[in-house]
Structure 1
Amino acid sequence: MNIFGIGLPEMAVILVLALLIFGPKKLPEIGRSLGKAIRGFQEASKDFENEFKREAQQIEQAVKSAAPPQSEQVATANSENNVATSTKQS
């Protein structure tokens, strides 16, 4: 088991030190508050990710709606080619 580069023996030493410093009554409270903080960070991260995706989709839709459809682009290109070809032949 290797979490953040810390193995099981190091985790045990950290746990024993925390138990000695904070005592058995405070340790569960600290764990709960740490868990709540991590959960809040995860929720904020998900909210940010969802907002980012939503904005990216809106921008993508705006770009698609601003650009003429593919068939119009082909028709415009064909008519420009026809004009260029007819002027070259003249």
Structure 2
Amino acid sequence: MSDKQDKATAYWKENLRYLLILLSIWFAVSYGAGILFKTALDSFKIAGFPLGFWFAQQGSIYVFVILIFVYVRLMNKLDKKYGFDE
């Protein structure tokens, strides 16, 4: 039973680490690019719109969707690593 509990604890530690990393990336993109660095990014344009505006309106959503797919891929690998892929 101890081995099973150790695997489950290690699994959740790694899962939480992935979550913190991915949510930090999302926070950096949505808050950093959309708010903090907006004026610096506005010097660049995408389809005629300032890049800071684009990140605030579209970019953080796109990054979030991409991070969902990354999380699914990471969790599939993690499940295989710890033998939870059934």
* Larger fraction in helix: 1
- TM-score (ref. length: structure 2): 0.42
Structure with higher Rg: it is: 1
* Larger fraction in strand: 2
- TM-score (ref. length: structure 1): 0.40
Of structures 1 and 2, the one with the larger relative CO (CA 8 A, separation 6+) is 2
